C-alpha cells in the first residue's frame, strides 16, 4: 500500500507532516509518497532528525495558498503539491491521498482530476464526531453549501457504507438533521429529502434528528448540507474547548478548588481528549473514485498520523468499492 501525502498543506507544514508521516511508517509499515518542495522537506527532516525511511519524495515547485480561488488554482498551478498528488492518485501511483491544504482546492481537484463515482453529483466531506454513546459520522461538513434532495440521499448511502466498512458497524442508522423530528418540518428541500430517504435502498433511515439530540450519539450517520454541517462542527469544536477551559479555570480558583481539581482533573483531560479533532485525523471526501482525506488546517503531528491511519483504513476496508456497488443498486 502506498499513501500520497501533501507535505506543504496546513499551518504547520512541512514539520508536522514529516513527524506524523515518520510515525505512521514506523507504526503501520505503510509506504508514503511525499509531494512538495523536496529541498525544504529534506532540510526540515535533517534539522529535526526525522528519518525519511519509507517516504519517497516527489518535488513540486508550486503551492496552493488558502487565499487562492480553488478552480483557478487547480487549472493554473499544475505543479502544486495538491494537483501533483491527485494526478498520481488518478494514475494509480498511490492508493490514497492526504492533505491539510485548501479545502476548496482539494474538493475541486478531486472532482476534476480523480473524478466522482457514478451517481455522485458532488463529493461530500465526512468526519467522525465524538458523542455520548458513540461517535457518529457527520456529512456534509463543508464541501457543498446548498444541496438538492438527491444529493442528500447519495450522502446517506456513502456515509452508511463508510461507517460499515471503516468503523465496522453493521446495519448503521441514518438520520437527517432538521429543526424537528416530524416529517413536515424543515425547508422544502429537507421535506423532499426525507421522503426520498425513506425509499432509498441500502440504508436504515430512522427519520429526522434535532440538533439537541445529535450529541447523544444514538445514530451512526447524520446527513445535512455543507453549510449546516460546517457550522455544527465548528460550534461543537469551540464548545468543547470552552467547557474544558471553564472547568479548569473555575476549579483552579482558590485552595478548595485546587484540592478538588486534583481528584477530577484526569476526567477533565479525558473529556478534552475525546473532543479533540486530532484523534479523528481528518474528513474523508466521499464520492470520488479513490480515498482522499482532508486533514485539519492546523493539524499537528498526531493529527497527520491519524489522517494517514484513516487513509489506510479506507483502503483496507475497500470503502470505494462498497460505495460504488451501493450507489449502483
Q: What is the pLDDT of residues 181-206, one digit of tens each?
A: 898 899 999 999 999 999 999 899 99
pLDDT top residue among 282 and 223: 223
pLDDT of 75: 94
Output the average pLDDT for the chain. 90
Instruction: Give the relative orientation of helices 38-47 and 15-28 as an angle to the nearest 10 degrees.
Output: 70
Instruction: Give the relative orientation of helices 149-165 and 188-198 as an angle to the nearest 10 degrees.
Output: 50
pLDDT of 324: 87
pLDDT at residue 253 greater than cutoff 90: no
CA neighbor of 305 nearest in space, from 297, 295, 314: 295
pLDDT grade, residue 301 (50/70/90)? very high
Give me 239's grid cell. 464548545
pLDDT of 272: 67
As a CATH number, domain 1-120+287-329 is 3.40.718.10
Q: Are 125 and 277 in contact (CB under 8 A)?
A: no
Average pLDDT, integer, range 280-308: 91
pLDDT of 66: 85
pLDDT of 278: 66
Give me 179's grid cell. 429543526
Average pLDDT, integer, range 241-248: 78
pLDDT of 298: 85
pLDDT at residue 32 greater than cutoff 80: yes
Q: How far apart are CA 258 and CA 164, in angstroms?
A: 44
Sheet holding 173-177, edge to edge: 55-59, 31-36, 2-6, 96-99, 292-295, 282-286, 124-129, 136-139, 221-223, 173-177, 204-209
pLDDT of 231: 92
pLDDT at residue 112 greater than cutoff 90: yes
Average pLDDT, integer, range 296-302: 89
pLDDT of 329: 66
Percent of the chain scored above 90 by pLDDT?
66
pLDDT at residue 247 greater than cutoff 80: no
CA neighbor of 155 nearest in space, from 165, 166, 169, 143: 143
pLDDT of 95: 96
pLDDT at residue 58 greater than cutoff 80: yes
Per the listing, cell 522537506 goes with 41
Q: How far apart are CA 227 and CA 70, in angstroms?
A: 18
Point out the least confidently predicted range of 69-78, 176-185, 231-240: 231-240
pLDDT of 284: 93
Point out the least confidently predicted range of 138-142, 206-210, 263-267, 311-315: 263-267
pLDDT of 328: 75
pLDDT of 276: 65
- pLDDT, tens digit, 9 for 90 and up, residues 259-291: 777 777 777 677 666 666 666 778 999 999 999
Which CATH architecture describes the domain 125-276? 3-Layer(aba) Sandwich (3.40)
pLDDT of 187: 93
Average pLDDT, integer, range 292-311: 92
pLDDT of 277: 62
pLDDT of 258: 72
Q: Are 137 and 174 in contact (CB under 8 A)?
A: no
pLDDT of 269: 72
pLDDT of 106: 94
Average pLDDT, integer, range 4-32: 94
| Every domain range in the chain assigned CATH 3.40.718.10 | 1-120+287-329, 125-276
Find all residues with CB under 8 Å of 56, minimum gap 6, and list them. 31, 32, 33, 34
Instruction: Tell me the pairing of strands 173-177 and 204-209.
Output: parallel
Average pLDDT, integer, range 37-44: 96
pLDDT at residue 6 greater than cutoff 90: yes
Give me 272's grid cell. 478534552
Amino acid at each position: 500500500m502506498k499513501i500520497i501525502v501533501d507535505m506543504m498543506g496546513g499551518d504547520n507544514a512541512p514539520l508536522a507532516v514529516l513527524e506524523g508521516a515518520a510515525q505512521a511508517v514506523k507504526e503501520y509499515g505503510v509506504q508514503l509518497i511525499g509531494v512538495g518542495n523536496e529541498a525544504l522537506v529534506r532540510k526540515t527532516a535533517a534539522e529535526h532528525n526525522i528519518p525519511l525511511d519509507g517516504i519517497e519524495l516527489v518535488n513540486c515547485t508550486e503551492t496552493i495558498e488558502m487565499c487562492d480561488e480553488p478552480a483557478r488554482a487547480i487549472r493554473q498551478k499544475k505543479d502544486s503539491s495538491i494537483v501533483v498528488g491527485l494526478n498520481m492518485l488518478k494514475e494509480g501511483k498511490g492508493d490514497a491521498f492526504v492533505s491539510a491544504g485548501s479545502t476548496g482546492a482539494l474538493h475541486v481537484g478531486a472532482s476534476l482530476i480523480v473524478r466522482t463515482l457514478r451517481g455522485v453529483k458532488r463529493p461530500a466531506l465526512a468526519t467522525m464526531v465524538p458523542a455520548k454513546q458513540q461517535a457518529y459520522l457527520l456529512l456534509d461538513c463543508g464541501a457543498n453549501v446548498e444541496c438538492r434532495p438527491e444529493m442528500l440521499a447519495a450522502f446517506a448511502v456513502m456515509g452508511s457504507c463508510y461507517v460499515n466498512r471503516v468503523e465496522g458497524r453493521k446495519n448503521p442508522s441514518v438520520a437527517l438533521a432538521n429543526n424537528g423530528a416530524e416529517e413536515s418540518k424543515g425547508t422544502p428541500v429537507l421535506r423532499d429529502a426525507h421522503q426520498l430517504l425513506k425509499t432509498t435502498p441500502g440504508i436504515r433511515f430512522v427519520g429526522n434528528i434535532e440538533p439537541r439530540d445529535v450529541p447523544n450519539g444514538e445514530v451512526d450517520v447524520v446527513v445535512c448540507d455543507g453549510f449546516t454541517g460546517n457550522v455544527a462542527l465548528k460550534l461543537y469544536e469551540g464548545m468543547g474547548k470552552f467547557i474544558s477551559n471553564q472547568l479548569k479555570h473555575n476549579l483552579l480558583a482558590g485552595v478548595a478548588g485546587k484540592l478538588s481539581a486534583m481528584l477530577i482533573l484526569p476526567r477533565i483531560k479525558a473529556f478534552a481528549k475525546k473532543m479533540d479533532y486530532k484523534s479523528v485525523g481528518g474528513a474523508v471526501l466521499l464520492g470520488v473514485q479513490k480515498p482522499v482525506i482532508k486533514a485539519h488546517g492546523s493539524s499537528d503531528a498526531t493529527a497527520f498520523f491519524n489522517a494517514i491511519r484513516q487513509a489506510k483504513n479506507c483502503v483496507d476496508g475497500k470503502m470505494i468499492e462498497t460505495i460504488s456497488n451501493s450507489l449502483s443498486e
